[in-house]
Amino acid sequence: MISSPESAGGNMQDAAVRVGDPMAEKSRPLMMSGIQPTGALMIGNYVGALKHWVELQATHESFFLLADLHAITVPQDPTDLQRRSLEFVALFLACGVDAERGTIFLQSHVPAHTQLLWVLNCVVPMGELQRMTQFKDKVGRNAANIHVGLFDYPVLMAADILLYGADLVPVGDDQKQHMEFTRHVARKFNGLYGEVFKIPEAYTPRTGTRLMGLQTPSVKMSKSDRNADNYVALLDPSEVVSRKIKTAVTDSGSEIRCDAAKPGISNLITLYATVSGEDVEAIHNRYIGKGYAEFKKNLAELIIDFLGPIQKRYSSIAADPVMLVEVLQRGARNARERSEDTLSRVYRAVGFIPDEGDHRRHSGKRWLSNERQAYIPVPVTPRALHQRRSIMETKETKDVTAAAAAETDAEVECMTDCCGCCCCDTEEECSMEE
């Protein structure tokens, strides 16, 4: 069975690191993940993200991002966006995310995200962004409203992750390409300016990481799908869940078996396996000789049983908006502290003069308006120096520039063909052009 809020509480009791011990927190690996406050938080988001947040918070220092800056890459009603942001925080807590142990925060409360975005924008070639699957997909869905924000989305996501020095990023299968892009941008920046960013790993367990639409199983289940029958929302009442599962698209025939030629029933079996924790093979065996109607009835019951405790906890948590705002304020303070540290290293690496706050952070001393104090040395590797010279196209580095251009072309080529050389560690891992 997928973790319920109760089982999440159990993990908390057993965990070796106790709340309120900041030094112990910082010695753990760091997990960073985010969700946009768009649409209705649904079971795909739980399976692809929240479930892992709850599991990993016991072993990782955790940053949970409510990506409201990302949310406005598609038009949002301002009142709805505010309401939904608080609703999502309440749902995170109801699902077992622990605001004492981890940091839950709003992206718009932490200016370093957009500040780093700008620096990374000056490193990322346009061509790489044009090839992003989600960009192409969203352009298809919002042909009348294609703007720079939508295009730049993966760079902001890279900034979100790199600011916190994340070791691990739990994402659904749909976000693997953006994760690979983030790793690529980090390597590129480090190559140019020195080892500033940690290279994060995506965390995407194999089973059930991409649920598909109930009515359109060829398209991934999405929380802002215009057709609400395509997903099961975490707050759907029981009768709505029953109806959505009952009317979910199945395929011709009656066999309950995963098959590439039967995306409808395969998706429902994946959903069943994820919610029950059972093997797909065990489900196949149990339903031999049984029909779609019985299978769907059992699946609906399973989901209703799973959602029940979450909805109950949500009702009491959502009744206390003051507490929710406090969670976000505390989260913003933590996130600002951590992210400003990285941003100041980035700024120094690219050659910006440190400001007063930056100076204090690095030397612990009071800022004096003395020019010498402004120049905090930037650690530079010979390789970074070499690459930067090649970009600046000085006379003596003309040949180097040509070599770097050829390398960039090869890199772009690699992304086009998705061959698993420069933009990925292994061919299997490469998802730049899924």
User: Which stretches of the chain bind ligand AQP, using CB under 6 A?
Assistant: 34-36, 38-39, 44-45, 47-49, 67, 171-172, 174-175, 209-211, 220-224
Nearer to ligand AQP, 177 or 334 (CB): 177
CB of 54 to ligand AQP, least distance (A): 13
Whole-number Å distance between alpha carbons of 349 and 196: 8
Task: Please indicate whether residue 138 is annotated as part of the active site.
Answer: yes
Angle, CA of 29, 66 and 120, to the nearest 5°: 70
Q: Which single residue is written with the structure tokens 């080892």?
A: 195
Least distance to ligand AQP from the beta carbon of 205, Å?
11
* Residue 244 annotated among the catalytic residues of the structure: no
Nearer to ligand AQP, 50 or 346 (CB): 50
Nearer of residues 45 and 182 to ligand AQP, judged by Cβ: 45
Smaller CB separation from ligand AQP, 220 or 244: 220
Closest separation in Å from C-beta 225 to ligand AQP: 6
Task: Report the 10 Å Cβ neighbour count for 154.
Answer: 23
Structure token pair of residue 407:
């390398």
Indicate the DSSP class of residue 396. G
Q: CA torsion sign, 341 to 323 to 305 to 230?
A: negative
Which residue number, 169 or 404, has a Cβ lying nearer to ligand AQP?
A: 169
Measured from the CB atom, the residue of 74 and 400 that comes closer to ligand AQP is 74
Residue with tokens 């980035």: 346
Nearer to ligand AQP, 38 or 339 (CB): 38
Report the nearest approach of ligand AQP to the CB of residue 34 (Å).
Answer: 6
Token output for 7: 């089982």
User: Out of 51, 188, 220, 262, which one is annotated catalytic?
Assistant: 220
Residue-by-residue DSSP string for 312-341:
HHHHHHHT-HHHHHHHHHHHHHHHHHHHHH
Nearer to ligand AQP, 172 or 194 (CB): 172
- How many Å apart are CA 211 and CA 4, to the nearest integer? 19
Catalytic residue among 51, 138, 176, 262: 138
CA distance linking residue 126 with residue 148, whole number of Å: 11
Cα 418 to the chain's mean position, in Å?
Answer: 22
Report helix, strand or coil for 99: coil
Catalytic residue among 51, 176, 188, 223: 223
Cα(154)–Cα(159) distance, rounded to whole angstroms?
A: 9
**Dihedral, CA atoms, 356, 357, 361, 366, nearest 10 degrees?**
40
Cα–Cα distances in Å, from 22 out to 17, 72, 240, 345?
10, 34, 44, 22
- Work out how close the CB of 261 gets to ligand AQP at its nearest, in angstroms, rounded to a whole number: 21
- H helices present in 5-95, as ranges: 5-14, 22-27, 43-45, 51-56, 68-71, 78-94
223: annotated active-site residue? yes
Task: Give the shortest CB-116-to-ligand AQP separation in angstroms.
Answer: 18
- At its nearest, how many Å lie between ligand AQP and the CB of residue 362? 33
Is-contact 66 324, C-beta < 8 A? no
Beta bridge partners of residue 62, listed in sequence order: 31
Min dist. Cβ of residue 371 to ligand AQP (A): 44
CA distances from 103 to 28, 66, 209, 259, 364 (A): 14, 11, 24, 41, 25
Helix (H) or strand (E) holding 127: helix 126-130
Residue numbers annotated as active site? 138, 220, 223
